[in-house]
């Protein structure tokens, strides 16, 4: 009985390996998408890592997970792919930091410069929260549509902190740290109950710098001056009707109307163009990069 069990287990494992290997071979045999006209569709609905984690069992889950590195490869290929007539971008969650958002905007700008327009759809930007980063990213697109029931909530930036000094005192723990100067505030989480004046100065300088970059980026993309964009922030939240009137968006549309509008891409070629998931397209590109000369790009995270 035991021998039969181990025999069945061995057959099952061999079957999984063969099936996984066959799937990988089929995946590698697929073309990355050059051919018929296509519109790439990309939905940002979660934070993205710089580089995808390697799966524990690659033969069971051979598909490369979504990451910024994967998206960049897709953007690079789409620029020179004559079959790509445009990109439809749906932004639901862009909470992956200012630096990543800036690189993403640069990729959008390069794609648009290559004659591949990027059309963005927002259900809302920050309803019930802060939509500054979502709108900052969306503003870089060739056109921006907002759902009629949505709003643009440009709240700007803020910083908060966690302080454990009070809890440590209750546990009769006395924290002791050496610092090299007043602006070395890393230990304040243990030694203080609030930000020190020096830490506030440093945080204010960082927030002012980040906010200025966001304002300048939005102003350049929407062809407005910085003071106008700052006024948008001061007036937030902005309803869909106000957003259209003030020039924050190009049109108000429901999802089906936005999809229908994509038909006009490529001088009308979009009507017959195949809708292809951007991540699937990027994975196909990645598979077919194997074998040729390559430049290694190292992503540092943490």
pLDDT at 191: 85
Q: Which residue has the higher pLDDT, 89 or 26?
A: 89
pLDDT at 301: 64
Q: What pTM value is reported for the model?
A: 0.78
pLDDT at 292: 61
What distance lies between CA 209 and its chain's CA centroid?
21
Angle between helices 68-80 and 278-287 (to 10 degrees): 80
The domain segmentation of the chain, as residue ranges, is: 29-155+236-302, 158-223
pLDDT at 182: 79
> What Å distances lie between residue 217 and 111, 135, 141, 151, 159, CA to CA?
17, 11, 12, 20, 21
Please say if the pLDDT value at position 56 is more than 60: no
Please say if the pLDDT value at position 240 is more than 80: yes
Pick the CATH number of 29-155+236-302 from 3.30.70.580, 3.90.226.10, 3.50.50.60, 3.40.50.2000: 3.90.226.10
Lowest mean pLDDT among 2-11, 227-236, 249-258, 271-280: 2-11
Lowest mean pLDDT among 21-30, 37-46, 85-94, 213-222: 21-30
């Amino acid at each position: 009985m035991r021998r039969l069990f181990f025999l069945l287990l061995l057959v099952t494992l061999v079957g999984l390996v063969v099936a996984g290997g066959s799937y990988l071979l089929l995946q590698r045999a697929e073309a990355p998408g050059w051919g018929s006209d296509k519109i790439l569709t990309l939905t940002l609905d979660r934070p993205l890592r710089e580089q995808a984690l390697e799966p524990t069992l690659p033969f069971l889950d051979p598909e490369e997970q979504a990451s910024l590195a994967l998206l960049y490869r897709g953007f690079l290929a789409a620029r020179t792919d004559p079959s790509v007539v445009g990109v439809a971008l749906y932004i639901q969650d862009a909470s992956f930091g200012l630096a990543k958002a800036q690189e993403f905007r640069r990729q959008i700008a390069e794609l648009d410069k290559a004659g591949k327009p990027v059309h963005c759809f927002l259900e809302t930007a920050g309803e019930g929260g802060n939509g500054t980063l979502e709108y900052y990213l969306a503003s870089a697109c060739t056109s921006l549509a907002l759902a009629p029931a949505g709003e643009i909530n440009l709240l700007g930036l803020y910083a908060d902190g966690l302080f454990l000094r009070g809890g440590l005192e209750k546990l009769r723990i006395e924290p002791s740290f050496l610092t090299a100067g007043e602006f070395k505030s890393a230990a304040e989480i243990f030694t203080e109950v609030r930000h020190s004046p020096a830490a506030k100065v440093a945080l204010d300088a960082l927030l002012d710098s980040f906010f200025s970059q966001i304002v300048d980026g939005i102003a350049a993309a929407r062809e407005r001056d910085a003071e106008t964009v700052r006024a948008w922030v001061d007036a937030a939240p902005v309803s869909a009707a106000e957003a259209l009137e003030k020039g924050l968006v190009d049109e108000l549309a429901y999802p089906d109307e936005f999809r229908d509008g994509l038909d006009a891409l490529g001088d009308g070629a979009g009507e017959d163009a195949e809708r292809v998931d951007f991540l699937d397209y990027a994975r196909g590109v990645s598979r077919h990069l194997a074998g040729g000369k390559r430049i290694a790009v190292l992503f540092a995270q943490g």
